[in-house]
Chain A
């Protein structure tokens, strides 16, 4: 919040990023920019390298070649201290939550604060309880252990932990995967709310068409190691690349578009 929002400024930029596992080329000279305060989604079939790309952005993996800049810092030339400082500026929500099983939910959320600030324990607990309620969880959940939570609660708790240090950048790995439609809709709304409230830049991997239509500003379609298409869902819809068509032309794709009001439903009009 202490940063002014400069529209169109790139928060993440990838240049000529290539990744190979043995003989298998996952990304070949891929370029990508994520702008400040946008909700950005990576989509693509399984094995298209979305997760690998995300892991490379959050310093869990290194590309074979190419440069990645996040928040103006070049990930390639990073020392241990700089890496640590950078890690405090983003939050990551993992697909399975990644909550620590030996800590309660509230302790999980308070952990980054306990590690990286000098706040008093009482205050940390209060802030953790507040973040919990921000993500829509009941206060009692704070005292529970992750193994006692349902899938949707786990994702919300994980999101609350990702938000603990007020990050500028939020990475979400499949935020709605494995959730019932109701909880998924709740996550849609939460993502939107967070972006509006804090001016967060959000990068996510998702297959959820509703989430894509309702929340994202721009979407990149990954296939064959490259970005096949980039733009808002409405723009992507008009593109002809097979990898993109595949996404929109399935029955589920059409249903989600209708719901988002992009295609008129087939109701006979009097004229």
Chain B
């Protein structure tokens, strides 16, 4: 809209007359609103002279209409004169289309207990939905086991490559750095007691049992879990999932099972890779800070670290893999609506899968200590 030159104005030369002038357009009408609201008619018969109105758009017409309607509601007999014909027409159109303004939705924001209750119900609903999703996936898996030809081997291999092989560099680099950090933090304490060689126990046990599986699962949750949620979410927004069902392809079989199987295979392998790089990082730090050279380190490693520690670490990986894929796919399938919903579900999938991975890791620790492993 062109900026209006003359602001809208209202004047009352006599108690019967109202003179309107200026450009009643979207850029200027806000100024006149308060004047119109404050206007009190002096008598019941009013003549409105619109000759001075130079421009009128729908916003201006709306305000003018509201003003006239208010005067009429208050019992005034209002007549409008000298309005340009196209403006008069516009004013008529505005009057025709006055929507019965729906009362603004009075949904009070829930307070206190109502809020807690609502969140609890939503949380429970989601938990139930998650369990039924797990159930549906398991029954799909059972169906595939009965008819192994229904497994999508190509999709499984593809997922192993994209979620596993392609993640090697980042997993290797981060666990290497983590190994360095662990050795570096321990170095000072150990040196104080002259227990330099025990850096091997520190690095070996903590990397193999805890850090390598955890850091790998967290990286993969951020990298692949989010991708699963976004992919399935977008597909359900664009009705691809529905299309799949109508063609007779079970979405769980095509989209979920290959991902679960691929990650259950890939995540333990990635964990082994992380073990190697983490310990290697520790080795380098041990030599630099504590004077424990490589051969000494490896000699001690073979004695101090049992195979159990290694197996405990990679044994947790399949459980983490299942959590990451199930949460990612589940949140993807829960996407409803449009683009922002895809974003929301993707965020949720990452947050929930990392949360659950850490919770399950803690449960593993408790279970292992109870079992004395």
Binding site for B on A (CB under 8 A): 1-2, 88-89, 101-102, 113, 117-120, 123, 126-127, 129-134, 139-140, 142-143, 145-147, 163, 165-166, 197-199
Contact A1 to B90, CB < 8 A, known contacts A123-B30, A166-B26: yes
Q: Which residues of B contact A120 (CB under 8 A)?
A: 30, 33
Contact A2 to B57, CB < 8 A, known contacts A89-B1, A130-B99: yes
Question: B54, B87, B101: which has the most chain A beta carbons within 10 Å?
Answer: B101
Question: Do A139 and B58 touch (CB < 8 A)?
Answer: no
Of the candidate stretches B143-151, B157-165, B180-188, B332-340, the one touching chain A is B332-340
- Which of B54, B98, B102, B337 sits near A101, CB closer than 8 Å? B337
Q: Which residues of B contact A127 (CB under 8 A)?
A: 58-59, 62
B97 at the A interface (CB under 8 A)? yes
Give 24 A-B contacts (CB < 8 Å), ordered by A residue: A1-B55, A1-B57, A1-B86, A1-B87, A1-B90, A2-B25, A102-B340, A117-B59, A119-B29, A120-B33, A123-B33, A126-B66, A130-B58, A130-B62, A130-B99, A133-B98, A139-B101, A142-B102, A143-B102, A143-B105, A145-B337, A165-B26, A198-B90, A199-B86
Secondary structure class of chain B's binding surface, majority of residues:
mixed
Q: Which residues of B contact A118 (CB under 8 A)?
A: 27, 30
Number of A-B contacts (CB under 8 A): 92
B100 at the A interface (CB under 8 A)? yes
Separation of A166 and B2 alpha carbons in the complex (Å) = 11
Separation of A242 and B90 alpha carbons in the complex (Å) = 44
Separation of A127 and B338 alpha carbons in the complex (Å) = 26
- Which of A102, A126, A147 sits near B62, CB closer than 8 Å? A126
Question: A2, A89, A129, A198: which has the most chain B beta carbons within 10 Å?
Answer: A2
Closest B residue to A142 by beta carbon equals B102
Separation of A165 and B337 alpha carbons in the complex (Å) = 28
B89 at the A interface (CB under 8 A)? yes
Q: Which residues of A contact B29 (CB under 8 A)?
A: 119
Separation of A101 and B25 alpha carbons in the complex (Å) = 29
CB distance from B102 to the nearest CB of A (A): 5
Q: Which residues of A contact B62 (CB under 8 A)?
A: 123, 126-127, 130
Interface bracket on B: 35 or more
Question: Do B338 and A146 touch (CB < 8 A)?
Answer: yes
Closest B residue to A145 by beta carbon equals B337
Question: Do B338 and A147 touch (CB < 8 A)?
Answer: yes
Question: Do B57 and A129 touch (CB < 8 A)?
Answer: no
Further pairs besides A1-B86, A133-B99, A166-B1: 4, Cβ < 8 Å: A118-B30, A133-B97, A166-B58, A197-B93
Closest A residue to B343 by beta carbon equals A102
- Which of A102, A113, A139 sits near B102, CB closer than 8 Å? A139
Separation of A126 and B94 alpha carbons in the complex (Å) = 12
Question: Do B57 and A126 touch (CB < 8 A)?
Answer: no
In chain B, positions 1-42 with a C-beta closer than 8 Å to chain A are 1-2, 4, 23, 25-27, 29-30, 33
B56 at the A interface (CB under 8 A)? yes
Question: Do B98 and A119 touch (CB < 8 A)?
Answer: no
Q: Which residues of B contact A130 (CB under 8 A)?
A: 58, 62, 94, 97-99
Secondary structure class of chain A's binding surface, majority of residues:
helix
Closest B residue to A104 by beta carbon equals B105
Q: Which residues of A contact B26 (CB under 8 A)?
A: 113, 117, 119, 165-166
Question: Do B56 and A1 touch (CB < 8 A)?
Answer: yes
Q: Which residues of B contact A131 (CB under 8 A)?
A: 58
In chain B, positions 75-98 with a C-beta closer than 8 Å to chain A are 86-87, 89-90, 93-94, 97-98
B63 at the A interface (CB under 8 A)? yes
In chain B, positions 243-263 with a C-beta closer than 8 Å to chain A are none
B341 at the A interface (CB under 8 A)? yes
CB distance from A133 to the nearest CB of B (A): 4
Separation of A88 and B2 alpha carbons in the complex (Å) = 9
Question: Do B99 and A129 touch (CB < 8 A)?
Answer: yes
Separation of A133 and B93 alpha carbons in the complex (Å) = 11
CB distance from B276 to the nearest CB of A (A): 45
Separation of A165 and B25 alpha carbons in the complex (Å) = 10
Question: Do B59 and A2 touch (CB < 8 A)?
Answer: no
Q: Which residues of B contact A101 (CB under 8 A)?
A: 337-341
Question: Do B1 and A165 touch (CB < 8 A)?
Answer: yes
Closest 7 pairs (CB-CB, A-B)? A101-B338, A2-B55, A133-B99, A147-B337, A102-B340, A166-B57, A133-B97
Separation of A119 and B101 alpha carbons in the complex (Å) = 18
CB distance from B291 to the nearest CB of A (A): 59
Separation of A199 and B3 alpha carbons in the complex (Å) = 20
